Structure 1
């Protein structure tokens, strides 16, 4: 569905463009500009299946994918060109220019090259690119004069649920160093290493690493494999988010919350699915009770679901936008935020995701504000909580100012 097909007449296009937004779930390696991908591949002699933007969109970065696994194939091309310090700075800078919202995440262990680019270097180069763009934009008059909220970012480090020796040079070296360990143990140890690195950089260099995540194929690779790493992250006061309920059912989300202490859930698409349980003999009544208890807990604790509409429609081809479970999440007053997931792989951005949601779910002005502000309230912002509260207040005041300016009434619902 293109932007021209959206019926957002209740909300002026300029209003939707100008309101402050977050992107809590945006992968750096899935959001590289295709023109940049081509340039970097040529400069580094990396083979691509095509060397024009239109051909790459036809062959690799498709409108639809057969499965999550096919969707993830795109990343072998993007990560290949990012194992270079200058490339990381450039892509992070360009992402900030294209994006400018909170919550950039990526997997540095996929990009590190032993002896050439360490995991620490990969993180610091991304920080350098994001900081450069942030400084430039915060110097512009509307922000510098205090008329608009400043731009902020935080880095979420993403561990991988499972990997092979061929996933990256770093993973190859790590696998060889632990060749006598079982596969699941190796997955978990790599995540522990990532958390330890995050702690070192945040402590010694004040790098704005706000949290950790795990991503990758979900079915068959449970979050419990990474329980030790997330326990360490919890003890080190990192925020936690987990890709869950994207390729598996409610039990995966439960495991993310209980075993990994997740405060946010990436996707959560299958949260209402009573057919997707590990024990097929469990009665329907017990499944429904389990799901309802999970929903009530998440709602009460305001565990935010990072909803990625376009990405889900691409990896679950039989899903219609109007039937996306986000509709039910909104009806049940769950905490959700609209996210891009991968701007390039999914050919989208947060503005487009907002338009899609307004069109499909007929969002009221209050619902638009509530979802938008939830992104700020549930963000893993780096730094002092008092500063965060003041920033969020400024964001709300700016939103209300724009709503008044464009005649968009956002009075709170009575329910």
Structure 2
């Protein structure tokens, strides 16, 4: 019998990956933040790339919400000009491609990038320009091509969600594949934005909702049953509707009882955009080893693996997958399973999803040694 393939970081980096939950303003290179901040005169807490990168991750790990939110003050501050937005978007494509990502949906809130005088339309066009440049460069070079699409996000505490939803629909043929809401869950339920979600549904358009991260089951229930979300951004607190049996351990899946909401989510194959390292930072999970993704995967929910904020979490898809291999003993088959899950759940058209699964993802895992 052949020995199982050793899952080194290099091997994991080489296999195709699909990323559904990644924030553009949470994934900048520290060196780029330094350069752009110098151009616009924005003060930073460190003056070299290494120190600045450590400041971002340490701040996100601090347990202090104000300090965590301050990290985004610095990234958003250097994303107020069209050329800066385009550069950040282009580098995002480059970094994802170098990490083996073959399809990604990158989200950001256009309303947060108007400080330099840009319009919402100009923000979307600038980001698309950068994505197009990055994809074109990758298509003409070594390695697999990468497809990166935009998800437009509205802030839960603001009042522009209908406007952002209309913007997403207006650019649906120009690189935007969907809509999202983000921000504090507590006090800002998704039902405040029903008009935006109704517009998306009437337009036959896709949307995901941040739900079940900082807030629990009511947030997930509203996102699905009131708003009609196609996917759940995080959804990690769904585990609160799963009762362990007498054994009392997550590994005893034969003795697990699902509540009505958890059963609905699994039966309907609602995709969960899980972000392990980020969930640990925000307190949604105590550690990677205790992250509900292990149980949810064994129960065969539609689990996907994501980065959330690569800069703040000091992470990548390779690091997220490696952590799950180490914590739960996942093998290449498990990594392919979550990758196919994500591709099936993407907002790209069916024929595009099928082509990537059959022509890129499955062959890529076969090359890595998965029969």
Same fold (TM over 0.5): yes
Q: Residue 168 of structure 2 contacts residue 176 of structure 2 at CA under 8 Å; is this kept in 1? A: yes
Which residue, 364, 367, 370 being the options, matches 1:399? 364
2:49 is matched with 53
2:80 is matched with 83
* Partner Cα distance (1:60, 1:397) in 2: 36
Which residue, 197, 206, 219 being the options, matches 2:167? 197
* Partner Cα distance (1:368, 1:50) in 2: 37
1:329 is aligned to 2:307: no
**Unmatched tracts of structure 2, length 5 or more:** 98-102, 243-255
* Partner Cα distance (1:65, 1:317) in 2: 14
1:155 is aligned to 2:147: no
Once the two structures are TM-superposed, the CA of residue 47 in structure 1 deviates from its matched residue by 2.0
TM-score for both structures, normalised by structure 1: 0.79
Instruction: For residues 66-99 of structure 1, give each alpha carbon's deviation from its aligned partner in whole angstroms, at most 9, with x where no partner exists.
Output: 1556433311111111011110010000111001
* Partner Cα distance (1:339, 1:367) in 2: 15
The 1:274/1:264 distance shift into structure 2, 3 A limit, reads: closer
1:226 is aligned to 2:226: no
More strand by share: 2
The 1:199/1:37 distance shift into structure 2, 3 A limit, reads: same
1:366 is aligned to 2:336: no
Q: Residue 102 of structure 1 contacts residue 153 of structure 1 at CA under 8 Å; is this kept in 2? A: yes
Once the two structures are TM-superposed, the CA of residue 142 in structure 1 deviates from its matched residue by 5.2
Once the two structures are TM-superposed, the CA of residue 395 in structure 1 deviates from its matched residue by 2.3
2:109 is matched with 107
* Partner Cα distance (2:258, 2:267) in 1: 14
Which residue, 258, 261, 268 being the options, matches 1:294? 261
Which residue, 14, 18, 21 being the options, matches 1:18? 14
Give the number of equivalent residue pairs: 349
Q: Residue 285 of structure 2 contacts residue 292 of structure 2 at CA under 8 Å; is this kept in 1? A: no
Q: Residue 26 of structure 2 contacts residue 72 of structure 2 at CA under 8 Å; is this kept in 1? A: yes
2:62 is matched with 65
Once the two structures are TM-superposed, the CA of residue 389 in structure 1 deviates from its matched residue by 1.8
Once the two structures are TM-superposed, the CA of residue 16 in structure 1 deviates from its matched residue by 1.3
Helix, strand or coil at the partner of 1:75: helix
Q: Residue 53 of structure 2 contacts residue 311 of structure 2 at CA under 8 Å; is this kept in 1? A: no
Q: Residue 22 of structure 1 contacts residue 376 of structure 1 at CA under 8 Å; is this kept in 2? A: yes
The 1:142/1:60 distance shift into structure 2, 3 A limit, reads: closer
Once the two structures are TM-superposed, the CA of residue 15 in structure 1 deviates from its matched residue by 2.7
1:127 is aligned to 2:128: yes
* Partner Cα distance (1:269, 1:17) in 2: 25
Once the two structures are TM-superposed, the CA of residue 320 in structure 1 deviates from its matched residue by 1.8
Q: Residue 29 of structure 1 contacts residue 106 of structure 1 at CA under 8 Å; is this kept in 2? A: yes
Q: Residue 112 of structure 1 contacts residue 118 of structure 1 at CA under 8 Å; is this kept in 2? A: yes
* Partner Cα distance (2:16, 2:309) in 1: 20
1:208 is matched with 175
Once the two structures are TM-superposed, the CA of residue 332 in structure 1 deviates from its matched residue by 1.0
Instruction: Mark the structure with the bigger radius of gyration.
Output: 1
Q: Residue 24 of structure 2 contacts residue 89 of structure 2 at CA under 8 Å; is this kept in 1? A: yes
1:279 is matched with none
Instruction: For residues 307-326 of structure 1, give each alpha carbon's deviation from its aligned partner in whole angstroms, at most 9, with x where no partner exists.
Output: 11111111118712111111
**Unmatched tracts of structure 1, length 5 or more:** 1-7, 144-149, 163-186, 276-288, 410-415
1:263 is aligned to 2:227: no
State the Cα RMSD in Å: 2.3
Q: Residue 24 of structure 1 contacts residue 104 of structure 1 at CA under 8 Å; is this kept in 2? A: yes
